[in-house]
Amino acid sequence: MQRRVRLVRNSGIMLQHTGLIILKTITIFLFAIAYMAVSGGAAVSADIDNDRDDIDEEYRAFVEEWHEDRVERLKEEQGWLRLTGLYWLSEGEQSFGGGERSRIRFPEGSIPDLAGTFKLEADTVVMRVAGNVDIRDERGRRMAEDTIYTPDLTRELHYRGLTWFVMRRDDKLGIRLYDDDSPHLQHFDGIDRFDIDPDWRVEAEFEPREEGDTMKIENVLGQMVDYAVAGDLYFTVEDEEVSMIALGTGSRLFIPFSDATAGEETYEAGRYVYIDRPEPGEKAIIDFNVSYNPPCAINPYTTCPLPPAENRKNFPIRAGEKRYDKYEPES
């Protein structure tokens, strides 16, 4: 059966070619800014074939530019490709460094074998630096024995090419470590994606939920975390009405979803897409061409939320990013 999706043609959304180069440049820039908040995943594939005649050139340029920006964000100082460790803290004192005897072991050779200790007491983490190890905070101040985390304070620590800080996930506290020499960054060569398909830029009815409505969402750690529910989205695929839940409280809404391609063509746990919250009485636009892999598809040291049951669909959405073969260290 020919797939039919209720869609929005580019002529109603984007400026048509007028021959004025400056208008085209402004249009692409505004679309890029509108999607700038999407972070996390990556893109760009050298073998994408987007020569379809029905793709508006400005829309094609917007999608390509959006993906290029995603790749650059992955490579940033605290992008997912530089993330190289997540170490959960236990109550009491634990040593850290690059040596085998350290309780929390940073990458070998990246820091002295014994660089210091972390001490967790209730909701406070104190770091004590060993000897002459030159660890600095985000202000460039040399650390000795200092509180680096409370519920109201998070210090960012630096040693040469390493950056780390304490992060909280529900009732767990851990050290998140970034490394300029991360093997995930060194082995990265792009992420494949589906051809741009304007039919997957869909128009949806949006029914907002009552303010304060929440739902439990499971993350990859098995924790159940409360998320604000913005509303329900309704659109048609193969003449059948389907729905998804949008999460968030601001002007940008988050949709974690999975479809029939999951586990084969796309990441088994699903993908993410953000949309603009529609104004009252307006339709929502879901652009699956800019759907992307969650951080846990890129790097194992992440804590991604999983799609709720309402957003797991049994039809294929062949748009956006495909499965990424992330770096796996040799055993």
Residue 329 has a pLDDT of 73
Residues 69, 143: one domain? no
Residue 129 lies in a domain: yes
State whether 224 and 92 are in the same domain: no
Q: Which of 232, 241, 294 is nearest to 269 (CA)?
A: 294
Statement to judge: residues 16 and 31 lie in one domain = yes
pLDDT at 70 over 70: yes
161 and 212: one domain? no
- How far are the Cα atoms of 102, 113, 145 from residue 98, in angstroms, in the given order? 7, 4, 19
Distance separating alpha carbons of residues 255 and 241, to the nearest angstrom: 17
| Higher-pLDDT residue of 161, 50 | 161
pLDDT tens-place string over residues 254-281:
999 999 999 999 999 999 999 999 999 9
Residue 323 lies in a domain: no
Q: How many domains are contained in the chain?
A: 2
Clarify whether residues 172 and 255 are in a common domain. Answer: no
**What are the tens digits of pLDDT across the range 218-243?**
999 999 999 999 999 999 998 999 99
Taking only the tens place, the pLDDT of each residue in 19-34 is 333 333 444 344 444 4
Are both 220 and 173 inside the same structural domain?
Answer: no
Q: Is 72 part of a structural domain of the chain?
A: yes
pLDDT at 51 over 70: no
- Whether 136 maps to a domain, the answer reads yes
Question: Which residue segment(s) compose the domain that 123 sits in?
Answer: 83-181
- Residue 159 in any domain: the answer is yes
pLDDT at residue 326 in the model: 87
Within a domain: 115: yes
pLDDT at 99 over 80: yes
* CA quadruple 185, 189, 192, 196: dihedral sign: positive
Give the pTM. Answer: 0.82
In a domain, 320, yes or no: no
Are 68 and 133 in the same domain? no
Tell whether 177 and 247 lie within a shared domain. no
pLDDT score recorded for residue 53? 63
